[in-house]
Amino acid sequence: MGKLGVLFTMTNKQEYFKKLLDRIFRLLPLYEGKDQTTKNIICSPGDAYSNFSNNLITVDTEIDGLMRDNIEDIEIQELSNLVKGMYEISIGEHNKVRVIVFAAIRLCKRIGGIE
């Protein structure tokens, strides 16, 4: 694992990556059009995709900022590439979203030292 260029204590690093992991995980129910709490479908596939896309931009922007401070960290680059690859996802590709979200979560856990 590479060294993060920004100064993190281990606790801060774990907290940061837990929050990032949560934001990445939220992309899945957004894509599905589900309420975060009840898991009931609350919007059409088109609206769900729009919500997913808008939140993807926020997650991607955050990871871009992390990348600028850690340009040589291969795992951060891998995380960035996974998230950027999600822009290619269309409506009806639930399995692809699921696979990428869980791959990004595993990577966040590894980078953040989260058990």
Position 100 pLDDT exceeds 90? yes
Locate the domains of the chain by residue range: 10-112
Q: Which helix (H) or strand (E) holds 108?
A: helix 94-112
**Res. 1: pLDDT tops 60:** no
Please give the average per-residue pLDDT across 50-61, as a whole number: 97
Taking residues 71-84, report their average pLDDT. 93
Q: Quote the pLDDT of residue 2.
A: 47
User: Taking a C-beta distance cutoff of 8 angstroms, is the pair 108, 114 a contact?
Assistant: yes
User: 70 and 76 in contact (C-beta within 8 Å)?
Assistant: yes
Residue 72's pLDDT is: 86
How high does pLDDT run on average in the chain? 91
User: Mind listing the pLDDT tens digit for each residue in 4-52?
Assistant: 555 567 778 899 999 999 999 999 999 999 998 899 999 999 999 999 9
Q: What is the pLDDT, as a whole number, of residue 95? A: 97
Q: Could you give the CA distance from residue 30 to residue 44 in angstroms, rounded to a whole number?
A: 11
Q: What percent of the chain has pLDDT over 90?
A: 77
